[in-house]
A and B are shown apart, each in its own frame.
With several copies, the nearest count.
Chain A
């Protein structure tokens, strides 16, 4: 783990993922990496995230696949049950829709349905996020579906250090993990300790301390909440930003401690607000802190529509720092 004296490196989330994969494959010969175009023959991934792995660890452990997500996840399930730790890549989250059976009916359930005999320690890495004008079928956030599915964990990092540390933990985890990369944060550089090790799943991070209101968020929206908090500070409002890191299981203790302290909370995510994951968190906060809240718990998320193409619409689709600041201000003035 990083300490104050640890050497710090500047790298993007993508580089952090590459580093985590190298490290995990080096440390454990059971770790496998596969997906469309991931081997070096195919350029190490269309984004280059897996570049170098197949050259170093061989074509048997690092494999490019046909375009067949059901068979990708299926092979991951079987290999995991046979004692391996597959890290399967589904290029974009929208393509997970063709592999839902393998994830939901199989990966997530086989341990339970077998009474504990089957273990399925797989990781599915996937990428998503609006902002690049890839429109309705290339940028959806469906983490809520998987959070609602018993038996699979959902991780959604926001910083390069977390990309590395959480991926290491996801690979070590004895159960299936969906690891969600966000296209707006993946290429943003940040500090990562040279010896950055695993960061535990299920533990939130206080991304910024504050006293008046809690902004509870994860993935790409951490940056927007931090921007909103900076803006709110100029208006005399001190916002605390909690980065969940893991969407499911989420860190109830950390969230309740923060909301208890501030008395006000907004849950912010990129996913559509309607029946989105924010509902679980907001509901729990009001259940647990009923008399202590100074204002209702709010939720911010995308409007009820597909991700639009035109930049002007895409910007309006995404929750912006100004939206968060306005909602926070209104809550602080709530009466």
Chain B
């Protein structure tokens, strides 16, 4: 992943793409500060995830949890290139997307714990976290549904005359559902400023990519929508940066949507606690051995972008932030049952 070959920047070709895939020409590279920012977002995601799993193991969180451990690079890189005005529509496995986007951890944790101080007053929970201030507009639990909604936000950018970009996150499995097709076609016909970001972690629940997907690279489907589509090493911040940069620039320039297929791996299975029996130990070990967090950390040190001390300090301060959020969450109260009558409509439902 961070072999000399792939760090050569614009010559990187981490995947042997089939005949008809597209290759990016002008590749942007992240400077030192940008790399550090991406890494900081990754650590924030990873620490938050680790702390979440600890709370689950202790029985303090009872809801199902879809860890994105291993997929940190994708939203961290994209978020570095987005502002608070830019928006995302994400999925049940999407807390990393939110954390990368800068969502504050206190209301996030309070929501995961079902508390009144949660982003959604405890009514949505981890699968429906929403935080418009940082552009986290929709989190859906329905496979594929982030994409058609993202188009609506992108249309609004055209109507507003703004440069706002919308990112729709989804998985490889979601690329086989109807909503994907309808959304990509509409986005292309309407030239919408939207980026379809597929985190291809090789599995959809227990189903291996090739057992459900009829094409070797999802990026090839972009051909059918007259849109650029790239297969990216989603664990390599440099490859991700180049492609995310191009897609965002294209969207802001009014040139329309892009499909990014970002290859990655989820370290914790589908839902935290599942048996992983649908993958081999070898492939899992191989993926773990290439933990993008570890590799990127080493690269920052090797390239002199940061020192051990700096990175430790970063981690410590992030851990403090997460711990503060946890404490905040568990001290927060629960919504009153009257909340069942609120937010159904703007007007409260009479008792």
Direct contact of A and B (CB under 8 A): yes
- A residues in contact (CB < 8 Å) with B: 32, 36-37, 41-43, 46, 60-61, 63-71, 73-84, 86, 94-95, 97-98, 101-102, 105-106, 110-119, 132-138, 150-151, 153, 174-175, 303-306, 308-313, 316-317
Identity of the chain A residue whose Cβ is nearest the Cβ of B203 in the assembled complex: A42
- B118 close to A (CB within 8 Å): yes
In the complex the two chains form, what is the Cα distance from A71 to B334 in whole Å?
36
For the A-B complex, the count of residue pairs with Cβ-Cβ distances under 8 Å equals 277
Instruction: Find out whether the CB atom of A115 lies under 8 angstroms from the CB atom of B337.
Output: no
- B226 close to A (CB within 8 Å): no
Stretch of B21-29, B182-190, B237-245, B251-259 contacting A (4+ beta carbons < 8 Å) = B182-190
Instruction: Find out whether the CB atom of B337 lies under 8 angstroms from the CB atom of A316.
Output: yes
5 pairs, CB–CB < 8 Å, chain A vs chain B: A37-B206, A84-B159, A86-B152, A106-B149, A304-B344
Within 8 Å CB of B182, what residues of A?
Answer: 66, 68, 70-71, 74
Instruction: Find out whether the CB atom of A94 lies under 8 angstroms from the CB atom of B130.
Output: no
Identity of the chain A residue whose Cβ is nearest the Cβ of B61 in the assembled complex: A133
Instruction: Find out whether the CB atom of A75 lies under 8 angstroms from the CB atom of B151.
Output: yes
Chain B interface size, as a band, is 35 or more
- B39 close to A (CB within 8 Å): no
Q: A74-B149, A77-B148 are in contact. List 19 more A-B contacts (CB 8 A).
A: A41-B211, A43-B278, A46-B205, A66-B204, A67-B212, A68-B176, A68-B178, A71-B182, A77-B149, A78-B138, A78-B150, A79-B159, A82-B152, A82-B156, A83-B156, A98-B177, A135-B124, A309-B128, A310-B114
Instruction: Find out whether the CB atom of A79 lies under 8 angstroms from the CB atom of B120.
Output: no
In the complex the two chains form, what is the Cα distance from A46 to B270 in whole Å?
10
Contact with A along B81-110 (1 / 0, CB 8 A): 000000101000000000000000000000
Instruction: Find out whether the CB atom of A105 lies under 8 angstroms from the CB atom of B145.
Output: yes
Instruction: Find out whether the CB atom of B123 lies under 8 angstroms from the CB atom of A310.
Output: yes
Instruction: Find out whether the CB atom of B145 lies under 8 angstroms from the CB atom of A46.
Output: no
Instruction: Find out whether the CB atom of A138 lies under 8 angstroms from the CB atom of B127.
Output: yes
In the complex the two chains form, what is the Cα distance from A86 to B278 in whole Å?
25
With contacts A42-B207, A74-B147, A116-B121 taken as known, whether A137 is within 8 angstroms of B343 at the C-beta atoms is no
- B317 close to A (CB within 8 Å): no
Instruction: Find out whether the CB atom of B155 lies under 8 angstroms from the CB atom of A79.
Output: yes
In the complex the two chains form, what is the Cα distance from A81 to B139 in whole Å?
13
